[in-house]
Chains A and B, each alone.
Chain A
Amino acid sequence: DIVMTQSPDSLAVSLGERATINCKSSQSVLYNSNNKNYLAWYQQKPGQPPKLLIYWASTRESGVPDRFSGSGSGTDFTLTISSLQAEDVAIYYCHQYYRTMYTFGQGTKLEIK
């Protein structure tokens, strides 16, 4: 199985500041045939299902604010929120869909400082 490890487990950031969440996969999720990273990011608020933010490591889902961005390739990925808003308080998960044993990171809890 591909193990997804996020860091940090929790993060407190001031409103308007940048938030950075990291995700490391135990093996590469870059598919060489199409040069795509099979990595997605989700946001989960309390009592709600996960919401897709980013796929292909860096493609923003329609309707997702442009303060959210994804980067990285191979085994190391980052979700960045450029200017934290109060509504961004949530748990964020990375997810690999490279192998059909689909796995998620353990989650990063983002709070306001």
Chain B
Amino acid sequence: QLQLQESGPGLVKPSETLSLTCSVSGGSISDSSDFWGWIRQPPGKGLEWIGSIHYSARIYDNPSLKSRVTISVDTSKNQFSLKVRSLTAADTAVYYCARQKRDNWNGLDWFDPWGQGTLVTVSS
């Protein structure tokens, strides 16, 4: 059974860079049909997609965050990562990682499964 687990610091200072990792178990991150995504959810608010990466490093990303975000993949560790630069309080959120399958016709499909999420607070 595929499982994902986020890890990273719970507290980061404004203007600094957040680094999160998602570890994949029960399957290979190098499956050609899979993309690996990041989604965030500010406390009490809705879901915002950040970006999704294939093991080949093909990336789909959210233009509104693209200038501050780097997503990468490490196949040797079966992990993928997220960096968000120039943090502000508005980046405070639960960050989730999840899998998306490649659609045979159009882009990618739904998110499933999801990791449990990790709360990141941006505060001095």
Which among A72-80, A81-89, A94-102 touches the partner chain? Answer: A94-102
Chain A contact residue count (CB 8 A cutoff): 27
Is A38 engaged at the interface, CB distance under 8 Å to the other chain? yes
Instruction: Across the interface, name the chain A residue whose C-beta is closest to B63.
Output: A101
Specify which chain A residues have a CB less than 8 angstroms from the CB of B103 in the assembled complex: 38, 97
Q: How far is the CB of A27 from chain B (nearest CB, A)?
A: 14
* CB pair B105 A49 closer than 8 Å: no
Partner of A104, one of B47, B105, B117: B47
Specify which chain A residues have a CB less than 8 angstroms from the CB of B108 in the assembled complex: 97, 100, 102
Chain B contact residue count (CB 8 A cutoff): 27
Specify which chain B residues have a CB less than 8 angstroms from the CB of A28 in the assembled complex: none
Specify which chain A residues have a CB less than 8 angstroms from the CB of B15 in the assembled complex: none
B residues 35-63 near A (Cβ < 8 Å) are 37, 46-49, 52, 60, 62-63
Give the distance in Å from the alpha carbon of A51 to the alpha carbon of B98 in the complex: 11
Return 19 A-B CB contacts under 8 Å, by A number: A33-B105, A33-B106, A38-B103, A38-B106, A42-B111, A50-B47, A50-B96, A50-B111, A55-B110, A95-B110, A97-B100, A97-B107, A97-B109, A99-B107, A100-B108, A101-B62, A101-B63, A102-B49, A105-B46
Residue numbers of B with Cβ under 8 A of A are: 37, 46-49, 52, 60, 62-63, 96, 98, 100, 103-117
Other A-B pairs beyond A49-B96, A98-B106, A100-B107, 8, CB < 8 Å: A34-B106, A36-B105, A40-B111, A49-B115, A50-B47, A52-B111, A101-B49, A105-B46
